[in-house]
Amino acid sequence: MIDTAMIADSLAPVRELLAPDGADVVLIGVEKDTVKLRLKLESAECTDVCVMPRRLLETLALQMMQPLVPGLAAVSIEDPREA
């Protein structure tokens, strides 16, 4: 089971990556070894160009979070641009 307190701490570098473009992520939940996040774009001015595509962001988030969260195998991001 993944510790949600560890997840909160591990989100900091991901949030820092997105902040210059006005985007953010919030934790939706955890399913087994997967962290589920929601991409927030309310403050982003150029969402289609500046903010990374979902798949790339998922890969980078996993790489940033995995060393800090034992047992983490995947990151899934809900992207409002794909709704």
Q: What is the pLDDT of residues 36-83, one digit of tens each?
A: 999 998 866 666 677 889 999 999 999 999 999 999 999 999 999 887
| The one-letter amino acid at 38 | R
Its pTM stands at: 0.90
Domain that holds residue 58: 4-82
Number of domains in the chain: 1
Q: Name the 3-class secondary structure at 71.
A: coil
Confidence at residue 57, expressed as pLDDT on a 0 to 100 scale: 96
Confidence at residue 50, expressed as pLDDT on a 0 to 100 scale: 79
* Long-range CB pairs of 1-5, under 8 A, 24+ apart, other chains included: 1/71, 2/30, 2/33, 2/35, 2/69, 2/70, 2/71, 2/72, 3/69, 4/30
User: What whole-number distance in Å separates Cα of residue 37 and Cα of residue 26?
Assistant: 5
Task: Provide the CATH number for the domain around residue 46.
Answer: 3.30.300.130
H or E segment to which residue 65 belongs: helix 54-65
Q: Is residue 1 over pLDDT 80? A: no
Q: What is the pLDDT of residues 9-26, one digit of tens each?
A: 999 999 999 998 889 999
